[in-house]
Amino acid sequence: MEDQSTQSEVAQQGPPQASSFHSPTKSKSSSSKWVIIFIGLLILGVAGIFFFTKSSSEAIPSPTPSFGVVPIEENMEESTPLPTTSPEPINKEKVSIEVLNGTGISGEAKLLSDKLKALGYSNITAGNASSTDNTEATVTFSKTLSQSTQDEIKKELDSFYKTVNVKTSSTQKSDIVVVTGLRGNQTAKPTSSATPSASPSATPTTNP
């Protein structure tokens, strides 16, 4: 009776159901898949490193010089000269000139005045200097006078007198003051010496 009851219990329980004995097989196949992927990536990495090392080790060929190369012509444009500013014309009528006779020789101041008038200067006055024994001419320019006018007057005086001294002033009224000197082979005017007076002779006396 016990055997029959045991068999009936076994029959009721039925065949053993599938348990989780198959899980190790599933995890094993998953691990194999990741190993294959890792190996593939490793192979790709090694191949990439090998290719990079090989390409960097190759020498870069240097360009060989070619002969007969024609240089590029430079743009040889002529530089445009800058416009030069011409000096303003001199209004000679407004230039005041004072000519003083410094030699004591008659007519020297008028002679120079005529030469300056021939250059176009008209505002000229003539007179005598305080000293009349000058051998060198002296010209004094006002500091406000243009350089071109000074050069013209200086050139004219140099061609007329032996020696010309040049000065500048900021106080004189006239633009130009000229004290005449000796011209060329001209000699200084001799100074007049005093005429000796005759001393009265003594009247002879008779002896008694």
Query: Is position 73 within any domain?
Result: no
pTM: 0.51
Query: Is position 157 within any domain?
Result: yes
Quote the domain boundaries for residue 157: 92-179
Query: Is position 36 within any domain?
Result: no
Alpha carbon distances (Å) from 132 to 16, 103, 104, 180, 188 = 161, 4, 5, 9, 10
Query: Is position 138 within any domain?
Result: yes
We report the CATH number of the domain holding residue 96 as 3.30.70.2390
Query: Is position 120 within any domain?
Result: yes
Query: Is position 151 within any domain?
Result: yes
- Please give the full DSSP string across 159-201, using - where no structure is assigned: TTSS-EEEEEESS-SSSEEEE----TT--PPPPPPPPPPPPPP
* Per-residue model confidence as pLDDT tens digits over 90-149: 789 999 999 999 999 999 999 999 999 999 999 999 999 999 899 999 999 999 999 999
Q: Report the number of distinct structural domains present in the chain.
A: 1
